[in-house]
Amino acid sequence: MVAMSLRIFITGRPGIGKTTVFMRIVSNLRKYGYIVGGIICPEIRGSKGRLGFHIVDILADQKGILAYMCRERSAVPRVGKYCINVDDAINIGVKAINNALKEADVVGIDEIGPMELKVPQLRLAIYETLRSAKPTVAVVHYRVVSDLVKTFRNAKVYEVSYINRELLPQQLSSELLDYLKKTR
């Protein structure tokens, strides 16, 4: 059974500004003294484009590699041309989410997508968070959003567009702040 708590899913096409909306929400909540924990998975870019993805604990500011461009066939889990670094996914990602469940007022996850869900331990930590009573804001990859909404029907889904991306951070921050004030 899914606990009734505030679940905000931010989705949209690649490059539209989902992570920017997410980080502005985190910043806004912190300005009001709330603790936000969880993960963010920013791109690693080089002169020839995207090389992979970091995984960052947003509470402890620890960083690792979630995925990197595969050079050859390997036994590690893959998503497209990227090899998943299971060790960092567990040692940083799972630890960050579990610590956020214990210590934070809000859990933030950027992102829930094919790479993050490929590691069973990280997938379990994400699903435990979404089943918890802890308010959660998550960027959800467009390929998995419909499946997550079927499982977590109480989630509110916001699609980022060019029209709303400047307004969403304040709107969603206000929604979270109102929820947090009511539940304290």
pLDDT in tens, 137-146: 999 999 999 9
pLDDT, position 1: 38
- Paired residues of 38 in beta bridges: 108
pLDDT in tens, 43-79: 999 998 899 999 999 999 999 999 999 887 766 789 9
pLDDT, position 2: 41
- Paired residues of 19 in beta bridges: none
Selection from 51, 33, 34 nearest residue 42 by Cα:
51
Residue boundaries of the structural domains of the chain: 11-177
- Fold category of 11-177 in CATH: Rossmann fold (3.40.50)
Selection from 78, 61, 62 nearest residue 26 by Cα:
61
pTM above 0.75, yes or no: yes
> CB of 53 within 8 A of CB of 67?
yes
